[in-house]
Amino acid sequence: MESAANKIIRFIQRTVKDKSVVLGLSGGLDSSVSAYLAVKALGKNRVYGLLMPTQTNSKQDIKFAELVANLLEIEHEVISLDEIVTSFLKTEKFKDKKSIGNLKARVRMSILYGMANEKKCLVLGTGNKSEILTGYYTKYGDSGADLLPLGDLYKTQVIELAKYLGVPEAIINRAPTAGLWPGQTDEKELGITYKKLDKYLDAYTKNRKIKNKDFNLVSNYIINSAHKRRMPPICFFSRRVRS
């Protein structure tokens, strides 16, 4: 994992240049690993953490997020989103459990970008390859970022990277959850363990087909979430500008 860590550190340095970064600290694996790598790349004075809990986050989420911030000695702040989310819910336009969960993720993104504007820094995303390929994230929510250092690492690889970086074992071993509603866990919602998921994602990306229900489940996740990985289609009237 040393070569992977060094490559990501160089990537952060090259992308961020002389700026600083702000990231959301959830107390989970991905945000913790991202924070560790950001500090190694930029130094603790150029990394700012935001803890943005709602009433559906557990005390453990906050405990571990603060643990990471304190271990890394980075400036951080806790902003409760309950009042903001409640103001949206009063419109009675958000009733489904998933739409409320997506609302929370989009509010977090708004807060992160507001802070980035105030501090003139970049938003460091924490998404991994497993989430990106399956679409297991909120469009214009936690997908909103200026850079994704873990974007080409499967979840199981992020776990190994966390061990190499010295992330606390309690964070590595806890069940992954977005905390968007009570009792929510990634693997329960996906219907498959990350170990199996990553195995079939890797097979799919290498054009290897496996005849079983888990591979079909993963294939459908990839196909059905393709819209999340594309820019919105545009009706062009003139030649497209090349970047």
Quick: pLDDT tens for 128-150: 999 999 999 999 999 999 999 99
Kindly indicate whether the domain formed by 2-186 is annotated with CATH number 3.40.50.620. yes
Q: What share of the chain has pLDDT > 70, as a percent? A: 98
Compute the distance between CA of residue 117 and CA of residue 55 in angstroms, rounded to an integer: 27
Q: Could you read off the pLDDT of 34-65 as tens digits, one per residue? A: 999 999 999 999 999 999 999 988 888 999 99
Give the three-state DSSP class for 110: helix
| 220 neighbors 178 (Cβ within 8 angstroms) | no
Q: Could you read off the pLDDT of 10-33 as tens digits, one per residue? A: 999 999 999 999 999 999 999 999
Q: What is the pLDDT of residue 58?
A: 84
